[in-house]
A and B are shown apart, each in its own frame.
Chain A
């Protein structure tokens, strides 16, 4: 019991710290690419704390207040159901009670809860943003889930633990044994992180910050926090599935960071897509690769056998 509590707090702490540091790094890197100095690596932490200590917060009613609470609880739950380490009793959370499909769905629970809050604020721009988000989700989930299904099929389980355990040694990493699946999920993964070029959902100049338009003060702080934690959960999940997991925190950070670097490098150089362009893209390119992958790795072997 005590172990579970401490472990959970540790996971939440780790994901939060990793979250703001990674995002701080992202802003730094972005600045350097644009030939400026950029903010300090702690900037996200400052922003977040500033919002948490705003002295005034506007609410549009109970549902508006509970939305961010739901999304935050969803982020905690997601983090706690993703195993951070393998072969360790620490940073496991409640992951043995869950599985890959559950995690994929948990990733969506919070945002949908928040969508209710956005709706109850009555701001049409917020709802417009939510619709765009859901549309993008519809686009990205298909190839994303197809890639994960390829992994599930490869290991014949939906348990993240089992998939991690099967990848001992560099040669058995998912990215080596099942590279197509990694390619299939990579771009949808970037979209799932709400990163450029798929970040039209909250685009400030297009939909007036989208879903967050009415959130300010401490509620916005909550939203920022959960965003950082959720990103880390997704990163760790992909690390678990394709990069063989990690046996200690340092390795975890290293692997997650390298993956983050890869996605950042991609998202830095592409301009923003419109929602329908993004969806169409997902259904053509990553899904096309996915279909090819299914034909190559599932159909052909069964026919030749």
Chain B
């Protein structure tokens, strides 16, 4: 019975894939009063559906591990259905329905974690609902302009209309992707969510905000450029958005470096990555949108991979703080490779597709002549190396710092299979950077009526600014590596393996297990001494939102005083209101 249910669940988790393969034509479902839900699959939605199809079954695997939490599985299925509805939406109502189902089912999934606390869950749901309600408000404004709920471009909105719509939709999507002042809900919820589900939150759910952000400019194709004009070689309005994205990336990157918990680090890194995507959307050119989509693809693969690896580590060691881990490379080698490939992708290092994505975005920034943005983005993406290194050093290298880390074994196969598949995909896309362009991204660009990037072969990434060949790069590197290793081994001499992990060059001393040798927890702490970084790390929005919540509660207390328990007061108020209304009317000369 249980096995059958598991199998059923897994099949449902494949539903985005099945949908992608079998979907043709469209579907519609009446709601009320002439509102109909239309389901169609646009190329853009198809792209994000592909991402969902990649992530959903891979995240489902670890969730299926015994003993499994059945409510979680049900909620996960709901979440998947909601996201598919959102992506298939041909009208705003179904978009909103999908959005909301996604929101509350992911919230309830978050509650399944034993670590979720009140502040986290409240901030998660309130920010997401605020996003949803802003979206709904935008949809209603849009409806009042067009008279129906279809997702289509607005013919000629006036400036205030366009600004209102932009503000409502933009805020809704920016909350979802978590750009800067609106990101506060992300780190703690990604951290406290059930370990496997964090992968899905970061890898797939955040992509829905990106989908919205890319969809947004298509609603008013000309209006954006016409009312704000152009700045250098790109839309001026996008310049603002791009700065929002870049500042998000920079701040989130430094915050990520200062984290002491694996999942929190990944959460901040997720914010930073989505910040890049926001920047690319802000640039808005064909190159940039291709870059944004590519980044979304890579980010999905990488974050699912990393979160699942981390989930495996947490499962096997019971530790999640950097200071408590170490030297797992010998005990969990496959997870090590998972994280290694993951951080190479995350850092945007050349052989893997992260580089292709970043290359497109960089080139699009140069093309738009927005060089200061480029510089800031470089700052974020080089600072990212530090947290990437921290992420692999602290758990896997150095010295084991807790009993859990000393006795851990390799993660069970439901955690390893997704990792291996994702590593394979990352290497594949890295070898063939043109593959993703040709198969996944160009159809979307054509669908958005933009110039496709084009790929002369799958191995090549080509832009007007030049490109590179992934296969040649990988071959050169691989051959060089084999050659160097071979030559090295040909040299005469003994290789001697150190007798103990503590056989270190340590100023003539012999360190012992008690010597604090692991540098995991403190890594990046010295960055605070750089004035700018120190300033950034001292800032935070938590105080503001806590203050807001406090004010709200104070208002509730104040208003609650109205509800006294004395009937004479109730009657008095009723009479006074009556008298006051009459008196007011009399004063105004009515009587």
Direct A–B contact in the complex, CB atoms closer than 8 angstroms? yes
B337 vs chain A, min Cβ distance (A): 11
A55–B493 CA distance with the chains assembled, in angstroms = 4
A59-93 interface mask toward B, CB cutoff 8 Å, 1 = contact, 0 = none?
11101011001101110110011000000000000
Chain A residue numbers with a CB within 8 Å of B498 are 58-61
Tell which of B269-277, B408-416, B438-446, B463-471 binds the partner.
Answer: B463-471
Question: Assuming A77-B477, A150-B371, A157-B465, is B398 touching A119 (CB within 8 A)?
Answer: yes
Question: In the bound complex, do residue B350 and residue A105 qualify as a contact, i.e. CB atoms below 8 Å apart?
Answer: yes
B384 vs chain A, min Cβ distance (A): 9
A208-235 interface mask toward B, CB cutoff 8 Å, 1 = contact, 0 = none?
1000011001100010000000000000
Asked if A32 lies at the interface with its beta carbon under 8 angstroms from chain B, I say no
Question: In the bound complex, do residue B369 and residue A112 qualify as a contact, i.e. CB atoms below 8 Å apart?
Answer: no
A195 vs chain B, min Cβ distance (A): 19
A269–B530 CA distance with the chains assembled, in angstroms = 24
Chain A residue numbers with a CB within 8 Å of B472 are 94, 97
Number of cross-chain contacts by CB at 8 Å: 236
Asked if A182 lies at the interface with its beta carbon under 8 angstroms from chain B, I say no
Question: In the bound complex, do residue A290 and residue B375 qualify as a contact, i.e. CB atoms below 8 Å apart?
Answer: yes
Question: Residue B481 contacts which of A70, A115, A158 (CB distance < 8 angstroms)?
Answer: A70
Question: Residue A142 contacts which of B351, B382, B504 (CB distance < 8 angstroms)?
Answer: B382
A3 vs chain B, min Cβ distance (A): 15
Which of A58, A134, A214 has the most chain B CB atoms inside 10 A of its CB?
A: A134
B376 to chain A: closest residue by CB: A142
Question: In the bound complex, do residue B523 and residue A131 qualify as a contact, i.e. CB atoms below 8 Å apart?
Answer: yes
Question: In the bound complex, do residue B493 and residue A73 qualify as a contact, i.e. CB atoms below 8 Å apart?
Answer: no
Question: Residue A53 contacts which of B351, B466, B491 (CB distance < 8 angstroms)?
Answer: B491
Chain B residue numbers with a CB within 8 Å of A37 are none
User: Which B residues between 484 and 510 are near A, CB-CB below 8 angstroms?
Assistant: 484-485, 488, 491-498, 501-507
Chain B residue numbers with a CB within 8 Å of A106 are 350
User: Which B residues between 325 and 348 are near A, CB-CB below 8 angstroms?
Assistant: 327, 329-330, 340, 347-348
Tell which of A166-174, A237-245, A253-261, A294-302 binds the partner.
Answer: A294-302
Question: In the bound complex, do residue B397 and residue A116 qualify as a contact, i.e. CB atoms below 8 Å apart?
Answer: yes
B338-370 interface mask toward A, CB cutoff 8 Å, 1 = contact, 0 = none?
001000000111110001000100110110010
Question: Residue A122 contacts which of B389, B397, B465 (CB distance < 8 angstroms)?
Answer: B397
Chain A residue numbers with a CB within 8 Å of B503 are 58, 60
Question: In the bound complex, do residue B371 and residue A149 qualify as a contact, i.e. CB atoms below 8 Å apart?
Answer: yes
Chain B residue numbers with a CB within 8 Å of A72 are 480, 484
A7 vs chain B, min Cβ distance (A): 12
Question: Assuming A122-B501, A208-B505, is B382 touching A138 (CB within 8 A)?
Answer: yes
Question: Assuming A119-B398, A141-B382, is B505 touching A112 (CB within 8 A)?
Answer: no
Chain A residue numbers with a CB within 8 Å of B501 are 60, 122
Question: In the bound complex, do residue B505 and residue A52 qualify as a contact, i.e. CB atoms below 8 Å apart?
Answer: no
Asked if B374 lies at the interface with its beta carbon under 8 angstroms from chain A, I say yes
Question: In the bound complex, do residue A137 and residue B385 qualify as a contact, i.e. CB atoms below 8 Å apart?
Answer: yes
Question: In the bound complex, do residue A57 and residue B493 qualify as a contact, i.e. CB atoms below 8 Å apart?
Answer: yes
Question: In the bound complex, do residue A122 and residue B386 qualify as a contact, i.e. CB atoms below 8 Å apart?
Answer: no
Which of A69, A122, A149 has the most chain B CB atoms inside 10 A of its CB?
A: A122
Asked if B583 lies at the interface with its beta carbon under 8 angstroms from chain A, I say no
B375 to chain A: closest residue by CB: A146
Asked if B566 lies at the interface with its beta carbon under 8 angstroms from chain A, I say no
Asked if B518 lies at the interface with its beta carbon under 8 angstroms from chain A, I say yes
Asked if B383 lies at the interface with its beta carbon under 8 angstroms from chain A, I say yes
Question: Residue B496 contacts which of A57, A81, A298 (CB distance < 8 angstroms)?
Answer: A57
Q: Please classify how large the interface on chain B is, using the bins under 10, 10 to 19, 20 to 34, 35 or more.
A: 35 or more
Question: In the bound complex, do residue A213 and residue B398 qualify as a contact, i.e. CB atoms below 8 Å apart?
Answer: no
Question: In the bound complex, do residue A298 and residue B382 qualify as a contact, i.e. CB atoms below 8 Å apart?
Answer: no
Question: Residue B505 contacts which of A123, A145, A149 (CB distance < 8 angstroms)?
Answer: A123
A159–B465 CA distance with the chains assembled, in angstroms = 7
Question: Assuming A63-B329, A102-B473, A138-B383, is B232 touching A218 (CB within 8 A)?
Answer: no
B61 vs chain A, min Cβ distance (A): 28
B343 to chain A: closest residue by CB: A112
Question: In the bound complex, do residue A222 and residue B488 qualify as a contact, i.e. CB atoms below 8 Å apart?
Answer: yes
Asked if B96 lies at the interface with its beta carbon under 8 angstroms from chain A, I say no
Question: In the bound complex, do residue B389 and residue A275 qualify as a contact, i.e. CB atoms below 8 Å apart?
Answer: no
User: Which A residues between 104 and 143 are near B, CB-CB below 8 angstroms?
Assistant: 105-106, 108-109, 112, 115-116, 119-124, 127-128, 130-131, 134-135, 137-139, 141-143
Question: In the bound complex, do residue A52 and residue B491 qualify as a contact, i.e. CB atoms below 8 Å apart?
Answer: yes
Question: Residue A59 contacts which of B365, B469, B495 (CB distance < 8 angstroms)?
Answer: B495
Question: Residue B399 contacts which of A97, A122, A213 (CB distance < 8 angstroms)?
Answer: A122
A286–B363 CA distance with the chains assembled, in angstroms = 22
Which of B372, B382, B396, B518 has the most chain A CB atoms inside 10 A of its CB?
A: B382
Question: In the bound complex, do residue B484 and residue A134 qualify as a contact, i.e. CB atoms below 8 Å apart?
Answer: no
Asked if B564 lies at the interface with its beta carbon under 8 angstroms from chain A, I say no
Question: Residue A102 contacts which of B386, B399, B468, B483 (CB distance < 8 angstroms)?
Answer: B468
A283 to chain B: closest residue by CB: B532
Asked if A251 lies at the interface with its beta carbon under 8 angstroms from chain B, I say no
Question: Assuming A214-B504, A280-B530, is B517 touching A124 (CB within 8 A)?
Answer: yes
A119–B389 CA distance with the chains assembled, in angstroms = 9
With A73-B483, A105-B355, A138-B379 already in contact, 8 other A-B pairs whose C-beta atoms are closer than 8 Å: A58-B496, A61-B497, A116-B397, A122-B502, A123-B505, A123-B506, A127-B393, A157-B466
The 11 listed contacts between A and B (C-beta, < 8 Å) are: A81-B473, A99-B465, A102-B473, A108-B349, A124-B398, A130-B393, A158-B363, A218-B488, A275-B526, A276-B526, A276-B527
Residue numbers of A with Cβ under 8 A of B are 52-61, 63, 65-66, 69-70, 72-74, 76-77, 80-81, 94, 97-102, 105-106, 108-109, 112, 115-116, 119-124, 127-128, 130-131, 134-135, 137-139, 141-143, 145-146, 149-150, 152-153, 156-159, 162, 208, 213-214, 217-218, 222, 275-276, 279-280, 283, 287, 290-291, 294, 298-299, 302
Would you list the 7 A-B pairs with minimal beta carbon distance, nearest first? A119-B397, A159-B466, A73-B481, A76-B480, A97-B469, A73-B480, A119-B393
